[in-house]
Amino acid sequence: MLKMTHLSKVYRTEVVETYALRDFNIDVKEGEFVAVTGPSGSGKTTFLTIAGLLETFTGGEYHLDGIEVSNLNDNARSKIRNEKIGFIFQAFNLIPDLNVFDNVEVPLRYRGMKAPERKQRIMDALERVGLASRYKHYPAELSGGQQQRVAIARALAGSPRLLLADEPTGNLDTQMARGVLELLEEIHRDGATIVMVTHDPELAARAQRNVHIIDGQVVDLSVDPRFHAAHHAASEAHG
Amino acid sequence: MLAYYFHLGLRSLRRNPALTTLMVMAVGFGVAASMITYSVFRAVSGNPIPDKSAQLFIPQIDGWGPQQNQKGEPAEALTYNDAMALLRAHEAKRQTMLYPVQLAVLPDGKRDLPLNASGYAVGSDFFAMFEVPFRYGGGWSLQDDDARAADVVISGELNQKLFGGANSVGRTIDLGGHDYRVVGVASHWNPRPRFYDLFSTSGFADEPDFYLPFARALDLHMYTGGRNSCRGELSFTNWTDYTQSNCVWITPWVELDTPAEVASYRSFLTHYAAEQQRAGRFNWAPNVRLRDVAQWLDHERVVPPESRISLAVALGFFLICLVNTIGLLLAKFLRRSGEIGVRRALGATRREIYTQYLIEAGTVGLAGGVLGLLLTALGVGGVGVLFPPQIAKLAQLDASLVGLTLAVAIVATVLAAFYPAWRAAHVQPAWQLKSS
Amino acid sequence: MNLPIRPILVALRRHKAGTVLIALQIALTLAIVCNALFIIHARLANLSEASGVDEPNVFVIKNQWAAERPTAQVDAQVQADLLALRQLPAVRDAAPASGYPLQGGGWDNLVTLTPDQTHPITDSAVYTSDEHFIDTLGARLVAGRNFRPDEVMVMGTQQSITPPTVIVTRALADKLFPGGHALGKSFYAMGTTPSTIVGIVDPLHRQGVSQWNKAYAGQALIWPLRADDARGIFYIVRAKPGQLAAAMREAPKALYAQSRMRIIDPKDGVQDYAAIRHKVYDSDRGMAILMGIICAVLLAITAAGIVGLTSFWVGQRRKQIGVRRALGARQRDILAYFLTENFLISAAGVLLGVVLAVAFNLWTVTRFELDRMSLAYVGVGVLVLLLLGQGATFAPALRASRVSPVEATRSV
């Protein structure tokens, strides 16, 4: 589903080159639920933005659903984002000017879907996250957990094959976080591939597989019970 | 604190030079357009004789009747017969008849070519009624009127041409082949609009060169050098026939001090017209008017439509500039929501935020005003391109216009800033901490 | 393309102030620009009004007499003057006149078909001159004949004399006798006796160009009268082609050689038609220029205002744009979003503007008796403002479309 080989991402300013990712390799199979962990600044968000085609990369290869994406133009990339990928952001990123219904509608609009089908999908998605009755509310009128559920509904409405989540519970309290996580697990059971970036080990533990990133490189691709030890060792090695 | 706000304002204006330039230009252009057209409008619509405009009245008598008058309104001047009748009745404290005359000043020892001169035939009361200022001498007396004296009052300009500006009282000049004794030299006097003669002029002619006795002009059979308006069949070929015709050409003025005097004069006019009806001269009911200066200016539509329309357009233009400024200020202030939130968190009250932004707007207004002033100066200088010269030269950039330009720019900009500043003042201190 | 109109409207409801301000600005601009365009067009039309005069070669001398004399003496002087003028090598012809096309002088008479008619048919400008008048002006005689020398009568100061023959303009002829057979017919022009039409000229403008006599600007009659007013007379002179300057130099000298008891103002006593036209249309030209400047500056300011406010909106919504891009919006979807947004606001502004424009026009119609504005001006104004709005939005919208989708992951 998502395969990166020898991928690198360099940020250049006039004076320095910074490698955000270097010789980065990852292979996520269809239907997997993968958690990506790592200390802040390790490059996990960069990985996610490249995986979600929000940014381009400098070198290497990236196959998404069998398509090599590095040569795609902006329109083609937009189309893939729209049809194959669903995003869940830490800060929810709902559009404050639009109500719940209109927010969920945004990706469907760009797909050029007919109004009745759009409506059906929106209400189905909202039903699924348990917010169908709130479809006329504006984001500011909802709690953080509710907002994140709207964001999930927005991601679900387009029936994406790949769901990318960036610290989806980072702005939520424990109870709300648990609800959101259960929702993700349910979506996973229904067949979606999920890649979730988090720094929370407890959250990461709920995934099928953990990928750890340090200094722009994947350090361990297996589900490792001695995760913490490895983490400490790596930190010391690079500290 | 105000200095601090002013300082903040200046710094903020420097931060987005494009937006600031845009606002300053909008205010500058808007205020300049308004001020240029206002300077013209002020010049043409001003009260030419402010302290007496309510005491000076122009009587009108309908000598043409409902078939031939001006949609029910009496003619704008009097026939010879009616003018003489009013003059003889002498029902007002002061009164004068007047009409324009064109005469040549004939050559004397110094000049070998005649000089064109235009002036008015007026009564002796003219000078006191209209407050004509004198440099030398004065007007003539009521006795001179009766005696049809060959007196003349000349303008300062004509006095300069003929006598090099010296006191010429007592000297003689030859006007159109007749000698006149100079009894007075007027200081510069040219009220605009020329309310006393709107029948023959549009109100903005050059200063008259001389004034001579009305009775004398009639004695010499001087035809009007101005307008003449008649109705029906015309067949006159000499002075007597002409004066007996229905042609109107004489403008009458009376001075009435109290409402009682006005009422009494009005009933005198009605009586006079009724008498004419009884005598069979008029075949219609009395139709008279007694308008004061302001009413007369309005009736004669002295303010050229150009200046009214352009004033309206310029005001609309200014309004658009202000709407524009509100929008830009809103953008500018709200773009700094973060800064406002922090200031509020640090303890700034709404009032302080309010003051800060109004002062910033005032700074924009001041800059716009200065630009507006430059453009106004340019515009008033170049107004001759836009308006007829006799009107254009009335527009002047004086101290009051300078003050008004700056004041309008600042006040308007600060008013425009009220809503944006209100919005800014209502930014929540916590807003910044919440992620959107 | 699938334009999300409803969501845009919903979003605009949350930005009321900015929306209302832009719409209001567009409305007011439309109102002013339509009327200004209309005024400019009307004034420019005035500027190109036909005078009927061979303008490149004709000039006018305003001749005032220094002292009063009996009519017979004035007439002798006038005849001598005309003879002298006509003999000048640079002069083709010369005529006496009480007034001349476009500028002042002269008078109007009311016209009736019978002597006892109480309601006159119309107003006509009155020209008095001799048999040289038509050739001197270079006017076109389209029917009938010119005056014969023996028909020309003498008119003293403030005398009302009605000659039995008259030449009229086609506009007057058509007004009096709509059938088109005016030649040979008679009418009364405030005289006790009728005048018979012997010739028709076309065109010939009246003496003035003011707004109030615009309706009958082309109506004039010419009477064969030498206006020997004791105060003064106009001499109209037509130079030979290309010799205008020479003729204008020679003519006053020739007149002063005849007699020095006259006044020809050194400043504006001798004017060619270029100067006359320039002077009489001063206010028309001024108004057109003023309105032109105002239109241009106004459109510039409105455009700049839209750029400014849209830029602000784009800046304010960078994150939101990033989110949309992340959710699959193409660059052109973002561009289309902002252009559509501006179009909706402009359309609302334009609707209000049409009402304001018509209201302003009606105010000038009732207040200043100007003409009704044709709706074509409103149409042009609407088009101009819609295009202006789209043009002004384009740059900020393009910047918005270039916002990277990665903005979505950045915190504020």
B403 half-sphere exposure, CB direction, 13 A CA radius = 3
Q: How far apart are CA C170 and CA C411, in angstroms?
A: 81
What average pLDDT does chain A have? 85
Q: Which residue of chain A has the CA closest to C334?
A: A110
Read out DSSP for B6-56? HHHHHHHHHHSHHHHHHHHHHHHHHHHHHHHHHHHHHHHHS-SSTTTTTTE
Q: Give the Cα-Cα-Cα angle B117, B118, B119 (nearest 5 degrees).
A: 125
B184 bridge partner residues = B137, B153
Q: Which chains, if any, share at least 3 CB pairs under 8 A with chain B?
A: A, C
Structural Rg of chain A based on CA atoms? 18
Poorest-pLDDT segment among B146-155, B365-374, B421-430 = B421-430
Helix then strand count (H, E) for chain C reads 11, 13
Higher pLDDT, B108 or B214: B214
CA distance C350 to chain A (A): 25
* Of residues A49, A105, A154, nearest to C409 (C-beta): A49
pLDDT above 70 (res A239): no
Poorest-pLDDT segment among A18-27, B113-122, B377-386 = B377-386
Read out DSSP for B74-131? PPSSEEHHHHHHHHHH--SSEEEEEEEEEEEE---SS-SS-EEEEEEEE-TTHHHHTT
Poorest-pLDDT segment among A72-81, A214-223, B123-132 = A214-223
Q: Which residue of chain A has the CA closest to C320?
A: A95
CA dihedral for B71, B74, B75, B79, sign (positive or negative): positive
> What number of C-beta contacts closer than 8 Å exist between B and C?
178
> What number of C-beta contacts closer than 8 Å exist between A and B?
4
In chain B, what's the furthest Cα-to-Cα distance? 98
Structure confidence by residue, pLDDT tens digits, B374-402: 988 887 777 666 666 666 666 777 788 88
Residues from chain B contacting residue A96 (CB–CB below 8 Å)? 436
Residue C346 · residue C386 · CB < 8 Å: yes
Read out DSSP for B147-215? TT--EEEEEHHHHHHHHTTS--TT-EEEETTEEEEEEEEEPS---SS-GGGTTTS-S-PPPPSEEEEHH
For A127, other C-beta atoms within 10 Å of its C-beta total 12
pLDDT above 90 (res B276): yes
A39-42 contacts at long range (C-beta below 8 A, 24 or more positions apart)? A39/A199, A39/A214, A39/A235, A40/A199, A42/A213, A42/A214, A42/A215, A42/A216
> What is the pLDDT averaged over residues A94-112?
87
B137 half-sphere exposure, CB direction, 13 A CA radius = 22
Specify the pLDDT at position B436: 34
DSSP state of C148: P
Specify the pLDDT at position B89: 93
Residue B49 · residue B130 · CB < 8 Å: yes
Specify the pLDDT at position B434: 38
B151 bridge partner residues = B181
Instruction: List the one residue out of C51, C49, C53 whose CA is nearest residue C95.
Output: C53
Burial (0-12, 13-18, 19+ Cβ within 10 Å), C42: middle
Q: How far apart are CA C20 and CA C18, in angstroms?
A: 6
With cut-offs at 50, 70 and 90, classify the pLDDT of residue B322: confident
Coil/strand/helix, residue C227: strand
Poorest-pLDDT segment among A190-204, B419-433, C370-384 = B419-433
Specify the pLDDT at position C240: 95
Specify the pLDDT at position C16: 82
Instruction: List the one residue out of B143, B177, B194, B183 whose CA is nearest residue B159.
Output: B183
Coil/strand/helix, residue C308: helix
C-alpha C6 chain-centroid distance: 47
Please answer yes or no on whether B435 and A96 come within 8 Å at the CB atom.
no
With cut-offs at 50, 70 and 90, classify the pLDDT of residue B271: very high
- Whether chain C has a CB inside 8 Å of the CB on A112: the answer is yes
Residue B400 · residue B43 · CB < 8 Å: no
Instruction: List the one residue out of B80, B92, B100 whose CA is nearest residue B198.
Output: B100
Residues from chain C contacting residue A110 (CB–CB below 8 Å)? 324, 327-330, 333
> What percentage of chain A exceeds 70 in pLDDT?
92
- Structure tokens, C219: 């109506």
How distant, in Å, are the alpha carbons of B311, B402, C27, C212 from that of B308? 5, 21, 22, 17
Buried b (16+ CB within 10 A) or exposed e, A204-239: bebbeebbbbbbbbbbbeeeeeebeeebeebeeeee
Specify the pLDDT at position A226: 43
Burial (0-12, 13-18, 19+ Cβ within 10 Å), A43: buried
Please answer yes or no on whether B435 and A171 come within 8 Å at the CB atom.
yes
Please answer yes or no on whether B176 and C66 come within 8 Å at the CB atom.
yes
Residue recorded with tokens 């002069």: C91
User: Which residues on chain A place their C-beta less than 8 Å from a C-beta of chain B?
Assistant: 91, 96, 171
Please answer yes or no on whether C328 and A96 come within 8 Å at the CB atom.
no
Please answer yes or no on whether C326 and A106 come within 8 Å at the CB atom.
no
Surface of C (359-388) touching B: CB under 8 A: 360, 363-364, 367-368, 370
Surface of B (417-436) touching A: CB under 8 A: 435-436
pLDDT above 90 (res B277): yes
- Structure tokens, B45: 């619509």
CA distance A125 to chain B (A): 23
Instruction: List the one residue out of B365, B364, B337 whose CA is nearest residue B431.
Output: B337
Residue type, B349: T
Read out DSSP for A15-79? S-EEEEEEEEEEEE-TT-EEEEE--TTSSHHHHHHHHTTSS--SEEEEEETTEE-TT--HHHHHH
Instruction: List the one residue out of C1, C232, C8 whose CA is nearest residue C99.
Output: C232
> What percentage of chain B exceeds 90 in pLDDT?
45
Q: Which residues of chain C are modeled with pLDDT < 70? A: 1-4, 411-412
Residues from chain C contacting residue B19 (CB–CB below 8 Å)? 308
Specify the pLDDT at position B1: 67
Residues from chain A contacting residue B431 (CB–CB below 8 Å)? none
Higher pLDDT, C239 or B32: C239
Please answer yes or no on whether C308 and B331 come within 8 Å at the CB atom.
yes
pLDDT above 60 (res B102): yes
Coil/strand/helix, residue B254: strand
- Whether chain A has a CB inside 8 Å of the CB on C325: the answer is yes
pLDDT above 50 (res B78): yes
Higher pLDDT, B144 or C280: B144
Q: Which residue of chain C has the CA closest to A84?
A: C328
Please answer yes or no on whether C286 and B388 come within 8 Å at the CB atom.
yes
Specify the pLDDT at position A234: 42
Higher pLDDT, B379 or A120: A120
Specify the pLDDT at position B424: 84
What average pLDDT does chain B have? 87
Identify the residue among C123, C282, C313 best suited for mutation to test binding to B, counting B beta carbons within 10 A and taking the highest.
C282
Surface of B (138-167) touching A: CB under 8 A: none
- Structure tokens, A128: 């699924």
Strand spans (E) along C131-231 = 141-144, 153-155, 165-169, 186-187, 195-201, 220-227
> What is the pLDDT averaged over residues B102-126?
88
* Of residues C22, C188, C263, nearest to B104 (C-beta): C263
Specify the pLDDT at position B429: 66
Residue recorded with tokens 């004069």: B265
Q: What are phi and psi of C263, to 5 degrees?
A: -125, 120
Q: How far apart are CA A213 and CA B274, in angstroms?
A: 113
Q: Which chains, if any, share at least 3 CB pairs under 8 A with chain A?
A: B, C
Q: How far apart are CA C62 and CA C127, in angstroms?
A: 15
- Structure tokens, A220: 């361990």
Coil/strand/helix, residue A118: helix
Please answer yes or no on whether B326 and C21 come within 8 Å at the CB atom.
yes
3-state DSSP: chain C helix, strand, coil percent, rounded to 5?
Answer: 55, 20, 30
Q: How far apart are CA C8 and CA C336, in angstroms?
A: 11
The interface pTM score, or ipTM, of the predicted complex is 0.81
Residue type, C345: I
Q: Which chains, if any, share at least 3 CB pairs under 8 A with chain C?
A: A, B
